[in-house]
């Protein structure tokens, strides 16, 4: 690289990586489309018809910029969550907001605590802004709040990442455990509470937290239960002083205008949300039945996906995943042992899960023959 094109020191020290390889990339490599898209935790049941109609109408005026204040959506979300508008920041999905948070509060060299194998995009942002990751293992296929807090105390961590419910294992902790974790956050640290799957969680999972509690910031999204992953609409709930800080660094025109309007319409259609949650519950039961049929074990899930324990090691799970891809099934798996003994299957329409069922039979039979 010439001196003219040199990178700044932090990005120059990093590999050129993408946290997730998209299904479109995999389809291009294979030269064919997937027949079941069950790997990205998208909501295959789709968004509210109100949202679709609202976005279709808005598209005619896509020549306009989106509202840089996100005023209507921010006020609607505040009312929905029982907080003040000053406690809400809206951004390009939780991913975009996580990047802004790291940039806002992290000094290069400061420690960030997370779980080994937890959501990798957060780690990507931490590395990109010069943070130092310190990781603790999962405990019984769930993130370990006590270990996270203990590590933060020992390292003087600036941020602690914790997802409840969890990705990639779909496990969860009750609200009381999360509230105890918030109470134990060390001085000077901030808990990053990712609640992307909160709408799917059992009653008693989501804690009551004062939005002005300076120990925690919470993240929510329209990508999962609301079925709008492609619209890229996420939001955070936190102390007004911290939320105001995002205005110092955010892309004020980063929100797509049609997406803003669609998210507002989706929020008004809680009947559709309840219907979607019911469909996801049925799909989880179908995935569990498929796993049992093929001698596998579906782990309990509080999300719109199910982790399926293959009963072997990560190499076996990877070969199974590759075999499924060859049968037209897009799924994913955890990246770290021992969780990588599992594959992860998103909830979707019955027709796609039926295709998963058929493909599992073919691939497992072939793997058994190869082993024999």
Judgement on whether residues 198 and 261 belong to the same structural domain of the protein: yes
Distance CA 274, CA 270 (A): 6
Q: What is the pLDDT of residues 68-105, one digit of tens each?
A: 999 999 999 999 999 999 999 999 999 999 999 999 99
Residue 138 has what pLDDT? 98
Judgement on whether residues 237 and 98 belong to the same structural domain of the protein: yes
Judgement on whether residues 88 and 193 belong to the same structural domain of the protein: yes
**Domain interval for residue 358:** 3-46+271-371
Judgement on whether residues 212 and 276 belong to the same structural domain of the protein: no
| Per-residue buried b or exposed e for 36-51, using 16+ beta carbons within 10 Å of the residue's own CB | bbbbbbbbbbebbebb
Residue 57 has what pLDDT? 97
Residue 1 has pLDDT above 50, yes or no: yes
Judgement on whether residues 265 and 188 belong to the same structural domain of the protein: yes
Rounded mean pLDDT of 181-188?
Answer: 98
Residue 370 has pLDDT above 70, yes or no: no
Identify whether the C-beta of residue 198 lies closer than 8 Å to the C-beta of residue 205: yes
Identify whether the C-beta of residue 10 lies closer than 8 Å to the C-beta of residue 128: yes
Nearest to 92 by CA among 256, 244, 263: 256
Judgement on whether residues 363 and 309 belong to the same structural domain of the protein: yes
Judgement on whether residues 35 and 182 belong to the same structural domain of the protein: no
User: Which DSSP category does 41 fall into?
Assistant: -
HEC per residue, 281-312? HHHHHHHHHHHHHCCCEECCCCCCEEEEECCC
Residue 296 has pLDDT above 60, yes or no: yes
**Lookup result for tokens 């579906």:** 298
Residue 23 has what pLDDT? 94
CATH number reported for the structural domain that contains residue 364 in this entry: 3.90.1150.10
- Domain stops at, among 269, 285, 311: 269
Judgement on whether residues 144 and 40 belong to the same structural domain of the protein: no
Who has greater pLDDT, 112 or 2? 112
Residue 3 has what pLDDT? 84
Q: What is the pLDDT of residues 19-60, one digit of tens each?
A: 888 999 999 999 999 999 999 999 999 999 999 999 999 999
Rounded mean pLDDT of 290-298?
Answer: 98
Residue 132 has pLDDT above 60, yes or no: yes
| Number of independent structural domains in the chain | 2
Residue 342: helix, strand or coil by DSSP?
strand
Judgement on whether residues 96 and 226 belong to the same structural domain of the protein: yes
- When the pLDDT of each residue in the chain is averaged and rounded to a whole number, the result is 96
Who has greater pLDDT, 197 or 20? 197
Residue 296's alpha-carbon distances to 286, 287, 299, 322, 368, in angstroms, are 13, 11, 10, 17, 14
Instruction: List the helix and strand counts (H, then E) for the chain.
Output: 13, 12
Identify whether the C-beta of residue 239 lies closer than 8 Å to the C-beta of residue 87: yes
Judgement on whether residues 322 and 248 belong to the same structural domain of the protein: no
Identify whether the C-beta of residue 195 lies closer than 8 Å to the C-beta of residue 206: yes
Judgement on whether residues 237 and 320 belong to the same structural domain of the protein: no
Q: What is the pLDDT of residues 317-360, one digit of tens each?
A: 999 999 999 999 999 999 999 999 999 999 999 999 999 999 99
Residue 94 has what pLDDT? 98
Q: What is the pLDDT of residues 257-270, one digit of tens each?
A: 999 999 999 999 99
Structure tokens at 62: 């896509």
Identify whether the C-beta of residue 171 lies closer than 8 Å to the C-beta of residue 142: yes
CATH number reported for the structural domain that contains residue 92 in this entry: 3.40.640.10
- Domain stops at, among 251, 269, 287: 269
Interacting residues of 303 by C-beta distance below 8 A, sequence separation 6+: 41, 165, 166, 167, 170, 197, 200, 201, 224
- Domain stops at, among 269, 290, 321: 269
Q: Which of 2-6, 73-77, 112-116, 367-371 has the lowest mean pLDDT?
A: 367-371
Structure tokens at 135: 């990781």
Judgement on whether residues 162 and 296 belong to the same structural domain of the protein: no
Report residue 372's pLDDT band, with 50, 70 and 90 as the boundaries: very low
């Amino acid at each position: 690289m010439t001196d003219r094109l040199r990178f700044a020191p932090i990005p120059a020290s990093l590999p050129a990586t993408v946290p997730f390889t998209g299904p479109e990339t995999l389809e291009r490599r294979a030269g064919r489309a997937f027949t079941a898209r069950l790997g990205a935790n998208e909501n295959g049941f789709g968004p509210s018809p109100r949202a679709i109609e609202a976005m279709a109408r808005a598209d005619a005026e896509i020549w306009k910029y989106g509202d840089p204040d996100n005023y209507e959506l921010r006020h609607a979300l505040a009312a929905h969550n029982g907080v003040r508008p000053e406690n809400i920041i809206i951004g390009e999905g939780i991913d975009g907001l996580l990047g802004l948070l790291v940039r806002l509060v992290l000094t290069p060299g400061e420690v960030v605590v997370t779980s080994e194998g937890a959501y990798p995009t957060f780690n990507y942002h931490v590395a990109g802004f010069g943070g130092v990751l310190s990781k603790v293992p999962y405990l019984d296929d769930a993130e370990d709040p006590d270990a996270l807090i203990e590590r933060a105390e020992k390292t003087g961590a600036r941020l602690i990442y914790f997802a409840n419910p969890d990705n990639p294992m779909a496990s969860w902790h009750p609200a009381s455990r999360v509230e105890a974790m918030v109470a134990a956050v060390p001085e000077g640290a901030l808990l990053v509470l990712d609640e992307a799957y909160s709408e799917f969680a059992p009653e008693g999972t989501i804690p009551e937290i004062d939005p002005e509690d300076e120990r925690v910031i919470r993240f929510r999204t329209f990508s999962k239960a609301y079925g709008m992953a492609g619209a890229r609409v996420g939001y955070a709930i936190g102390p007004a002083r911290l939320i105001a800080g995002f205005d110092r660094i955010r892309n004020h025109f980063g929100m797509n205008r049609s997406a803003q309007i669609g998210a507002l319409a989706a929020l008004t259609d809680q009947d559709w949300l309840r219907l979607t949650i019911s469909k996801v519950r049925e799909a989880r039961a179908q995935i569990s039945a498929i796993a049992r049929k093929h001698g596998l074990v579906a782990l309990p899930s509080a999300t719109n996906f199910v982790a399926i324990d293959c009963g072997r090691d990560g190499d076996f799970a990877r070969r199974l995943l590759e075999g499924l891809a060859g049968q037209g099934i897009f799924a994913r798996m955890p990246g770290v042992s021992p969780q990588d003994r599992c594959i992860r299957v998103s909830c979707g329409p019955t027709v796609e899960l039926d295709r998963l069922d058929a493909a599992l039979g073919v691939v497992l039979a072939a793997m058994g023959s190869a082993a024999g």
